[in-house]
Amino acid sequence: MNDALVCWKCGASLEALVLPLARLAECPACSADLHVCRMCEFYDTGSSGSCREPVADDVPEKERANFCGYFRPRPGAHDPGNEAEAEAARAQLEALFGDAPEPPGGGGSGGGPTKEELDKLFRGGH
């Protein structure tokens, strides 16, 4: 097991951060909240409410900053398996929307969204 404190979302090292982590602490690499259930040593998807701490209040959003007083950062919290699933989903979307050739005129005949509009929607562009 890796004893280094890393971001639960991107795996970046958090050794430069001061412990205990502040409630609004963010990863310096990806800006993910760090005082979250996914980063806690009590986080366990096999337990009721995904938490092994028996008296902790239920926190519905496991990836958002919370006020849990039982929070303890878990070394090695990054799970690269989640990235593989996300990448597979992106590849499926790309296969559905990204590889289709643009019809003449660019917008298509059905009045639906263009590839650029879909890219903005799915990639968060403006």
pLDDT digits (tens, 9 = 90+) for 96-116: 887 655 545 554 455 677 888
Quote the CA–CA distance of 117 and 106 in Å, as a whole number: 12
Tokens coding 96: 């559905």
Specify the DSSP class assigned to residue 50.
G
Integer CA distances (angstroms), 4 to 48, 77, 79, 115, in order? 27, 9, 13, 42
Cβ neighbours around 78 below 10 Å, total: 20
Residues 6 or more apart whose Cβ sits within 8 Å of residue 35: 21, 22, 23, 24, 25, 65, 66, 68, 71
pLDDT surpassing 60 at residue 120: yes
Segment 47-94, tens digit of pLDDT:
889 999 999 999 999 999 999 999 999 998 887 765 667 778 888 888
What is residue 126's predicted lDDT score, i.e. its pLDDT?
Answer: 56
Segment 7-41, tens digit of pLDDT:
999 999 999 999 899 999 999 999 999 999 999 99
pLDDT surpassing 70 at residue 125: no
What is residue 107's predicted lDDT score, i.e. its pLDDT?
Answer: 47
* Whole-prediction pTM: 0.62
Quote the CA–CA distance of 80 and 58 in Å, as a whole number: 26
Residue type present at position 125: G
* Residue where the block lists tokens 């909240």: 33
For the chain, the domains span 1-99
